[in-house]
Amino acid sequence: MAMVRFLPQNVSVSAIAGSRLIDAILAAGILMDAPCDGAGTCGKCRARISGGAAFEEAPHGLLAAAEREAGWVLACQTVVHGDLRVETGSTESDGLKILSEGSAFDAKVDPWITKSFAGATTVGAGGVTIAVETGDTTARLYGLAVDIGTTTLVAALVDLRDGRELAVASSLNPQARQAQDVLSRIKLGSSLEGLRGLQSSLIDELNRLVSQLTLEADVLPAHIYETVVSGNTTMLHLAAGANPVSLGKYPYKLAIEGGSHLRASDIGLGISPHGLVYLPPLMSAYVGADITSGILATRLAEQRGAVLFVDIGTNGEMVLAAGGRLTATSTAAGPAFEGMNIACGMRASRGAVERFEIERGGACFRTIGGDEPLGLCGSGLLDVVAELAAHEGVDKNGRFRTNGTSEPWKKQFDVLDGKPVYRVAGPVYLSQKDVRQVQLAKAAIRAGVELLLAVNGLAPAQVDRVLIAGSFGFHLRTESLIHLGLLPREFLNRVEFVGNTSKTGAQAFLVNHHLRDQMKETVREVQVLELANDPKFEKTFLQSLAF
């Protein structure tokens, strides 16, 4: 056995000689980006060995010579043979920006859970008694609204007597330590052992958030009687312990359809022993309860005119309300928008460049927390590429245009390892490959938008409003979305950023149970456009690559 000590976390773990360094990192509970799932192709799992020499690294070309000399290795390609001291950098949860607010409406308070007192307190769920408590506990009636994202978790504690939000807590989704994205989690969760591991890590973290919330609000977890869990279809399957294997292969069938309850005790959620978990209705394998909650939070089905709802992330999920009907679809944008598969990409935490603009005097940027620049988060990445496209720093095909004007910002083009890069700030740069990743991601979403409009017989100019949802979308600039070509130019003055509607929709479901039947009916009427079966998708996607 070898002892591996990690800094700055100051955590030590035992590792079997011959095991990979990344496995020791995960065993230490350290979240490290590895979007290629340890295949050694993304170059993101960088760590610096600052003590010990008992290791061996497989050959690869993802680190520069200077980095190797400084002790940097790829954790997934490094085998541990003895004791090591390893620096992984600051934890990405430090200063991480997780959005907990979003558009909402004043839902009438009429929860599924009720209490009445007559010598003892009767706890009801939909009119059925689920518990009897000694004394008068009618003043202690709470619920939990949870948004389970692929990357982040947000939980809100709600007083079910009046609908007030008492406390909010958030964290990274710990499942990313086991599998980075939706598809890899489907693959891992297809085995019983993998499914149990993904579910238990998620529930353990939710229980930690419950402890944090109840401590802050000075309430007991035993007085939380219902939890509404919103998230994409895969996240809900994993939370419920339902095998997701059918979500990863045609015809993409659901193991659960939502619109129903689970017993909290059956999944190990630490609320009342009589507590229930409600899962909102799902539309398809890739249009999940987070979009159902978004439709509810924005009252999309009741909007006048043509209104487009888009949740931009690793999957671009969108719903168009037009002509009295809802049409939904989803496209696989990939992880670039979260800074993954990007040379200097990182999550939206301290030091990430989150805003970038080219002005007459040169280029300017802003980092999260005002710290020295460490990398590019999704919003910063889109800003840089969009600004270069708008100022002819890249051509319509995405190639760098390093020659031409003598403007100050253009002097930031450089050559690294024989390839052109654009120096954004400090050590942070944009590569030609990065631009290509953004092209592929934005083209997938733009193609989805175009086909969604086409199936409804609409041109972009006929769309009245565009609602951009999600934590990532909230930090974007409309101008960047237009310059990239992710959205049509006709949308320029019609975009609204509506925030975390998955969480606020979950709260609406929590405080008014009548909305559940309404949304079941709404979801049944939604037309889901499966782009994988659409012969026009490939052509539209290729056309959408251009800036």
pLDDT at 292 over 50: yes
- Give dist(CA 330, CA 423) in Å, integer: 34
Query: Which range (267-281, 292-306, 318-332, 392-406) has the least confidence?
Result: 392-406
| 269 and 182 housed in the same domain | yes
For residues 284-300, one letter each, b for 16 or more C-beta atoms within 10 angstroms of the residue's C-beta and e for the rest, the string is: bbbbbbbbbbbbbbbeb
Give the pLDDT of residue 64.
72
| 253 and 386 housed in the same domain | no
Domain boundaries, position 220: 113-292
Over range 246-261, report the average pLDDT: 95
pLDDT at 54 over 90: no
- Type of residue found at 460: P
| 236 and 319 housed in the same domain | no
pLDDT band for position 179 (50/70/90)? confident
Strand, helix or coil at 315? strand
Specify whether the CB–CB gap between 116 and 122 falls below 8 A: yes
Q: Which residue is it, tokens 């100050």?
A: 408
| 321 and 466 housed in the same domain | yes
Does 105 map to a domain? no
Specify whether the CB–CB gap between 289 and 236 falls below 8 A: yes
| 310 and 406 housed in the same domain | no
Give the pLDDT of residue 370.
92
- DSSP characters over 209-274: HHHHHHHHHT--GGGEEEEEEEE-HHHHHHHHT---GGGGSTT---S---SEEEEHHHHT--S-TT
Specify whether the CB–CB gap between 141 and 113 falls below 8 A: yes
| 172 and 275 housed in the same domain | yes
Bridge-based pairing of strands 120-125 and 46-51 is unpaired
Q: Three-state SS across 104-146?
A: CCCCCCECCEEEEECCEEEEEECCEEEEEEEECCCCCCEEEEE
Query: Which range (7-16, 85-94, 146-155, 461-470) has the least confidence?
Result: 85-94
| 531 and 415 housed in the same domain | no
pLDDT at 17 over 80: yes
Per the model's pLDDT, the better-predicted residue between 156 and 29 turns out to be 156
- H helices within 420-530, ranges in order? 432-455, 471-474, 478-484, 501-511, 514-525
pLDDT band for position 97 (50/70/90)? low
Does 143 map to a domain? yes
Q: Which two tokens stand for residue 177?
A: 């330590």
| 133 and 181 housed in the same domain | yes
Per the model's pLDDT, the better-predicted residue between 498 and 102 turns out to be 498
| 275 and 310 housed in the same domain | no
Over range 31-37, report the average pLDDT: 66
Bridge-based pairing of strands 362-367 and 72-74 is unpaired
Distance (Å) of CA 271 to CA 29, 68, 215, 267:
25, 49, 13, 11
Q: Which two tokens stand for residue 19?
A: 């095991």
Give the pLDDT of residue 11.
84
Does 487 map to a domain? yes
Q: Which residue is it, tokens 């409309």?
A: 478
- Give dist(CA 42, CA 177) in Å, integer: 16
- Give dist(CA 386, CA 467) in Å, integer: 20
Q: In this structure, what CATH number is given to the domain that contains residue 516?
A: 3.30.420.40
Specify whether the CB–CB gap between 197 and 257 falls below 8 A: no
Does 76 map to a domain? yes
In the DSSP assignment, the letter for residue 400 is: B
Number of domains in the chain: 4
- Give dist(CA 208, CA 223) in Å, integer: 16
| 158 and 274 housed in the same domain | yes
Give the pLDDT of residue 512.
98
Give the pLDDT of residue 34.
67
| 144 and 18 housed in the same domain | no
Query: Which range (66-70, 360-364, 505-509) has the least confidence?
Result: 66-70
Those residues whose C-beta lies under 8 Å from the C-beta of residue 314, and which sit 6 or more positions away, are 150, 181, 182, 332, 333, 334, 335, 337, 338
How many other C-beta atoms can be found within 10 angstroms of the C-beta atom of residue 356?
Answer: 26
pLDDT band for position 33 (50/70/90)? low
Mean pLDDT of the chain: 91
pLDDT band for position 170 (50/70/90)? very high
Give the pLDDT of residue 232.
96
- Give dist(CA 154, CA 168) in Å, integer: 7
Strands annotated E in 340-379: 352-359, 362-367, 375-376
Q: Which of 431, 450, 481 is the last residue of a domain?
A: 431
Q: Which of 34, 52, 87 is the last residue of a domain?
A: 87
pLDDT band for position 245 (50/70/90)? very high
Query: Which range (150-154, 257-261, 304-308, 421-425) has the least confidence?
Result: 150-154
- Give dist(CA 243, CA 254) in Å, integer: 9
3-state DSSP helix/strand/coil % of the chain, to nearest 5: 35, 30, 35
Does 95 map to a domain? no
Give the pLDDT of residue 92.
46
Specify whether the CB–CB gap between 137 and 119 falls below 8 A: no
Per-residue pLDDT tens over the stretch 108-160: 999 999 999 999 999 999 999 999 999 999 999 999 999 999 888 999 999 99
Q: Which two tokens stand for residue 107?
A: 């839902």
Q: In this structure, what CATH number is given to the domain that contains residue 253?
A: 3.30.420.480
Does 162 map to a domain? yes
Does 103 map to a domain? no
Q: Which residue is it, tokens 């700030």?
A: 425
pLDDT at 43 over 80: no
Strand partners, 330: 317
Give the pLDDT of residue 36.
64
Specify whether the CB–CB gap between 55 and 78 falls below 8 A: yes
Q: In this structure, what CATH number is given to the domain that contains residue 18?
A: 3.10.20.30
pLDDT at 200 over 70: yes
| pTM of the complete model beyond 0.75 | yes
Per-residue pLDDT tens over the stretch 445-478: 999 999 999 999 999 999 999 999 987 777 789 9
Q: Which of 431, 463, 491 is the last residue of a domain?
A: 431
| 521 and 413 housed in the same domain | no
